[in-house]
Amino acid sequence: MTRLRSLALLSLLLVTTWLASSSASVEPPTLLVERFDSVGAPYGDAPLAVRLAWRIGGTVEGPLRCKIDLDGDGTFDEVIEECPRDSAAAKVVGTTYATVGEHAAKLVEGAEGRTAAATATFFANHIDWSSRLHRLETLPGFVSAEAPLGSTGVTARYADVAAVPKVVAGDLVMGASGSGYLIRVATASTTGSTLTLTGTPAQLNEAIENGFYGARDLVIPVDGARCLSDECKGLTLLPIEGDKTGSGPSTKALGRTASPLVFSTSGTFGVKVPFDGSVAGVSGSIFVGLSIKKLLVDIGFFKLERFELEMTPSFQGEIAYTAKTLFEREWSLGKIALGAVPIGPIVIQPMIFPVVRLKAEWTFNVQFGIDVPVKFAFDAGSWSASVDPKAFGDGTFLDPNGIKTALTTTACLVPKLNLLLYGVAGPYVAPTACAQLEAAISTGTVSDVACKDGAPLKVCLSGKLTGGGEAGLEQPWFRDASGKPYGSMKKEITLAELDLFTPLCLGKPADDAPSKCTDAGPADAPDSGASDGGGSCSPKALSASCADDRECSCGAKGKERVCARNTPSLRTCIIACHSDADCPTDRPTCDTGVAGGVSEDEPHWQCVKCPTSGPPLHPVCAKCEHDLCSPGTALSPSCSTCAKKVCAADEYCCTHEWTLSCRARANELCGAGCPI
């Protein structure tokens, strides 16, 4: 009996332990709001009718219960007991915001003890214009207008003489042609049906007596991109995606220099400027992108009450130098204007002034950049500004085994993005991001590593990304209580130093000595193992250029170094993998999203190190921090089938940022139903 009781207790203990371990290994169900927004634009004239749409994800399988607060007062106006995961299968839920101003709606959902929530913001707009203002382009009979960038004059044409408005000195005129204009008239003349005006910039709170205008998630078009200086003559301006027909971007000659400009009509928001500097061995490109998260203007009786502008410019560059001689130069890529953007009462003209600096002593390749989220605000009578820059990058010496002396290579991006309001002045972001690669030379022993074969040469490669700059607001568009225009303000951009890659040691260490450059741990020194054919083997270091796998590795299959196509023209040695277990500790993640074999039928997966800050740079490092319809951080291809399709079409969406263009791709490829 005692034995039976003991066996029963032992069985019970084993079952209990198994149940506990099984339950511990099962992840709890998840619930998340993938999307919550309006079906149409989230802003418009009051009264603003809004129809809400949502999509709910997660692993929860039970019935959902949704509660919706339509006006942000804390009271739920709609409760749906059997809430569908996609609002397309639900009854129409919406409201009309009759009151002018900013409004918020909130969705709270629950199931199986889990809850999730999301909030969407909407703007019901209305403007009472000044009686002194002539909105020339809204008048009957208007045909066209010309307002050159930076000028304080405008020429307007009408259908006939009777349609020409009567404008006198002291009046205000406004329009969106060209880069937009807001002028206090000094002289006015009429010739037939043509009106010619000159004047000085006027203040926005002179043109608006009372008004509120808000907007968010604005797309900056590039179909009007043009070169405005000799420096960019002959450059091709590339958008970040092709058109929706699948036939590729179209080409047109635009601007006074008639330089070829390639652009897309599918809602892109940035341009990429390739350059070669007319110097053999130098190639690269610089990209400037912009997303405007929020713009809000509130004016009461010709006085500015509130102003907000939140935007994120993105600056990225890739520079390669394939010669091995000292080279130093600075390029100004000129003055480039993107398409003007009318946003309610304001017309914004984005301008970019890209500059590249390069000092090179050896072959290298760097890709680096900086995102600069910035916010300018006016409230309670004072202005404020905030900047939160994030840098990212990667760099390699292309042939480090040939280095015999200490070398320093520096590549800098110095791009300025200026948003000109009415073509005159406005907010700007002017960062400097520099990638610096250094090769330090030592003889004898280095970090306790002895050298052999009569060649006591040790090269330690390192790379850093540094930067700074400033963001500011130049604005003559509003007056203070005394009637004087507000001045400008500046905010410094500071960047913490960032490692571009793990320090890399080259040399011939003794067989029984560890290989390391610093106390940080093992470096990526070449393997010293035996060759697979009985002869000598001199493997190349990681990131060294190569022609085939044999140049890279002496290692065992599964952890060997192989030659991969990182770009169509650049082949470098990498650590290949089939799973994370194949990867070393300093590159612990196997990126199965990379297919870079030298031949198309032999793809290689790559061991990578996921960045601790900034963009993930590799799809495997990306996360699922927001829904398909919300611009934000890069999304992992594993987030959803649609995310995987978008990433296959445009890898940038899963390596750097999920932009408005990625959202457009989701609509195109998956029918995601995101608002345009």
Q: Lowest-pLDDT range, 30-39, 75-84, 383-392, 454-463?
A: 454-463
Sequence-separated contacts (24+) of 71-76 with Cβ below 8 Å: 71/95, 71/97, 71/103, 71/104, 71/105, 72/103, 72/104, 72/105, 72/106, 76/108
Distance between CA atoms of residues 120 and 118, nearest Å: 7
pLDDT at 98: 95
**In the chain, which segments carry CATH 2.60.40.10?**
32-126
CB neighbour burial string for 148-186, b if at least 16 within 10 angstroms, e if fewer:
ebeebbbbbbbeeeeebbebeeebbbbbbbbbbbbbbbe
CA–centroid distance for 26 within its chain = 36
Q: What SS3 class is residue 376?
A: strand
pLDDT at 182: 92
Rounded to an integer, the average pLDDT of 538-561 is 60
| Nearest in space to 397 (alpha carbons), one of 437, 356, 457, 359 | 437
**Which range in 81-90, 121-130, 302-311, 575-584 is most confidently predicted, on average pLDDT?**
121-130
Whether residue 150 contacts residue 171, with contact meaning beta carbons closer than 8 Å, is answered with no
Q: Of 123 and 527, which is predicted with more confidence?
A: 123
Whether residue 370 contacts residue 476, with contact meaning beta carbons closer than 8 Å, is answered with no
Distance between CA atoms of residues 477 and 667, nearest Å: 38
Whether residue 406 contacts residue 400, with contact meaning beta carbons closer than 8 Å, is answered with no
Provide CATH code, domain 32-126. 2.60.40.10
- Asked whether the whole model's pTM tops 0.85, one would answer no
Q: How confident is the model at residue 539 (pLDDT cuts 50, 70, 90)?
A: low
> Is the pLDDT score of 319 beyond 60?
yes
Rounded to an integer, the average pLDDT of 373-401 is 84
CA–CA–CA angle 400, 402, 408 (5° rounding): 55
> Is the pLDDT score of 248 beyond 70?
no
Q: What SS3 class is residue 365?
A: strand
**Is the link from the previous residue into 503 a cis peptide, with omega within 30 of 0?**
no
> Is the pLDDT score of 507 beyond 80?
no
Distance between CA atoms of residues 175 and 650, nearest Å: 37
- Token look-up 């169509």 returns 568
Over the chain, what is the mean pLDDT? 75
Helix (H) or strand (E) holding 362: none
